[in-house]
Chain A
Amino acid sequence: AQTVTQSQPEMSVQEAETVTLSCTYDTSENNYYLFWYKQPPSRQMILVIRQEAYKQQNATENRFSVNFQKAAKSFSLKISDSQLGDTAMYFCALIQGAQKLVFGQGTRLTINP
């Protein structure tokens, strides 16, 4: 069975700082996809970044980047130059083949002015 674990329930940093959110997962497959989703307060969940397991290069989207360590089954999200609008719940998720998405417990990130 697939599992996703986020060990940091809450994090808080100052605006403009860099912050890293941790995620570990377990799967028996070689081909799968990993995602980070963002859920701002009272707003819809949106996709932040996606990583394909067969690609060694870490995905990046503007200020968001991942550190994908396949052997360690680790998938952390780095937010550079954090902004107030980055305040949100962040969920790590895994999918393999045509199976369903499996989510972690979430990390509540607060960016302080």
Chain B
Amino acid sequence: DVKVTQSSRYLVKRTGEKVFLECVQDMDHENMFWYRQDPGLGLRLIYFSYDVKMKEKGDIPEGYSVSREKKERFSLILESASTNQTSMYLCASRLRRTGPHEQYFGPGTRLTVT
């Protein structure tokens, strides 16, 4: 089974702090994704990566950056956390970009910025 893990289930940070959210997948998937989930808005794509060292902006990249130095790891960085970034963050991976491949999700990190 594919396993996608995220470094923390719950995180509380202060406004202005730099925040790192880590995601690791163990199935040699090429593609990885970061979403935020907010009530009534569904999942919105922040950034994604088709392969190592590659990154593409999603629908709501402002205030975020990402890093993918190794194939299995995709990090989301909040350069200076703000209260409007309080949300549930979900990481996902997919085998590759072509075909209807299923995305596998991590358990999520609920981030609170105070």
Q: Which A residues form the contact surface with B (CB < 8 A)?
A: 4, 6, 9, 33, 35, 37, 43-47, 50, 52, 91, 95, 98, 100-101, 103-106
CB within 8 Å of A: which of B1-49? Answer: 4, 33, 40-45, 48
Which of the residues A4, A6, A43, A106 comes within 8 Å of B107, measured between beta carbons?
A43
Complex Cα–Cα for A25 and B108 (A): 26
Chain B residues with CB below 8 A from A106, complex form: 40, 42
Interface contacts beyond A91-B42, A95-B100, A98-B98: sample of 4 additional A-B pairs, CB < 8 Å, sorted by A: A45-B90, A52-B100, A100-B33, A106-B42
Q: Are A44 and B106 in contact (CB under 8 A)?
A: yes
Q: Are A47 and B102 in contact (CB under 8 A)?
A: yes
- How many A-B pairs have beta carbons closer than 8 Å: the answer is 42
Chain B residues with CB below 8 A from A47, complex form: 102-103
Chain A residues with CB below 8 A from B43, complex form: 91, 101, 103
Complex Cα–Cα for A46 and B106 (A): 10
CB within 8 Å of A: which of B56-114? Answer: 58, 90, 97-98, 100, 102-103, 105-108
Q: Are A45 and B100 in contact (CB under 8 A)?
A: no
Complex Cα–Cα for A52 and B100 (A): 8
Please, how many residues of chain B have a CB less than 8 angstroms from a CB on the other chain? 20
Chain B residues with CB below 8 A from A103, complex form: 42-44
Known contacts being A50-B100, A52-B100, A98-B98, is A45 close to B42, with CB within 8 Å? no
Q: Are B40 and A45 in contact (CB under 8 A)?
A: no
What are the 6 A-B residue pairs with the smallest beta carbon separation, nearest first?
A45-B105, A33-B100, A103-B42, A103-B43, A98-B97, A105-B42
Q: Are A100 and B100 in contact (CB under 8 A)?
A: no
Complex Cα–Cα for A43 and B88 (A): 12
Chain B residues with CB below 8 A from A101, complex form: 33, 43, 45, 103
Report the minimum CB–CB distance from B107 to chain A (whole Å). 5
Chain A residues with CB below 8 A from B40, complex form: 9, 105-106
Complex Cα–Cα for A37 and B106 (A): 13
